[in-house]
Structure 1
Amino acid sequence: VGHIKILFEAKKQGDILIVGINDDDSVKRLKGKDRPILPLSSRQVILASIEAVDYVVPFSEDTPENLIKEIEPNVLVKGEDWPEDKIVGADFVKSKGGKIVRVKLVEGFSTSNIIKKIREKESSSSMKK
């Protein structure tokens, strides 16, 4: 829910919405051996099916910095939990005359929180048996 809201807000900022997505290896490096939950191909299909999204572009690095430099977006959108000085590519986008938009998040809908809740339920269910 949270990411979808960000995508629709991002689409309002310009004509074309390009979504960068970490490939499976970079997700594993960043989030741990149990991630990603869904493979890249599934995540791409899900994102591409969202009306607001025009293009989905995977990247293999740990950050989208190279992708941002290649695309040279006019607007770079992130969730408000990211301070602007920590947003990868923000300085580059601003140096090209672009802007940074931070979108309000929907609380409680992070993938990490969802996974944590599922694991807690599995753990409590196995203790009851």
Structure 2
Amino acid sequence: MQDELQIGKPASKLIPIPQLADTIKQLRAQERKIVFTNGCFDILHKGHVCYLEKAKRLGDVLIVGLNSDSSVKRLKGESRPINDENDRSTVLAALEAVDYVVIFTEDTPLNLIKTVAPDVLVKGGDYAIENIVGREYAQETVTIPFVDGYSTTKTIGAINQEKQ
């Protein structure tokens, strides 16, 4: 169908927030099962990739809400992010599992989740379902366990150790 969204085309993966509602409307019209997750994804590693691949398997379309640089600084401290939002969004968009990336500036993705109203809301295994922001706007909320041994904080720590 010619009017169908071109899911998977790199140029179409980065969506500005004002365009998001129209994209969601088109996906719903196509009866796509929408999965949403979010995070900083500062230094992308195997744990992130496995997490995103598992999230994608829960539906047809994976939308990733990406914390803006200002949001990451507020959440993680002045030394973060290591990679800016343009670099992080480009790397995420290059992943096969990721269909769309939306950068948000708030500390939580609540407003984004309200807009998306995902069929499945996904967070990492360190979250208790009852504490996941926006779960009331999703049909289902799922946690995915972390891959042992992988974390951005651990990677940054190892780099800092090598500098000493």
TM-score by length of 1: 0.89
CA distance in 1, matches of 2:137, 2:118: 10
Q: Answer whether contact 2:118 2:137 (CA < 8 A) is retained.
A: no
Q: Tell me the secondary structure at the aligned position of residue 71 of structure 2.
A: helix
Q: Which runs of 5+ in 1 are unaligned?
A: 124-129
Q: Which residue of 2 aligns with 1:104?
A: 145
Q: How does 1:1-129 map to 2 (within 5 A)?
A: 1-93=46-138, 98-123=139-164
State the aligned residue count. Answer: 119
Residue identity matched to 1:107: D
CA distance in 1, matches of 2:148, 2:155: 12
- Give CA-to-partner distance per residue, 1:53-79, whole Å, 9 cap, x none: 000000000000110001110001111
What do you get for the CA RMSD once the two structures are aligned?
Answer: 0.8
Highest CA radius of gyration, 1 or 2?
1
Shift of 1:27: 0.3
CA distance in 1, matches of 2:51, 2:120: 13
Shift of 1:86: 1.5
Q: Which consecutive aligned stretches of 4+ in structure 1 deviate over 6 angstroms post-superposition?
A: none
Residue identity matched to 2:72: V
Residue identity matched to 1:110: S
TM-score by length of 2: 0.71
CA distance in 2, matches of 1:113, 1:36: 14
Q: Answer whether contact 2:56 2:97 (CA < 8 A) is retained.
A: yes
Q: Which runs of 5+ in 2 are unaligned?
A: 1-45
Between the two proteins, what is the percent identity of the paired residues?
A: 50
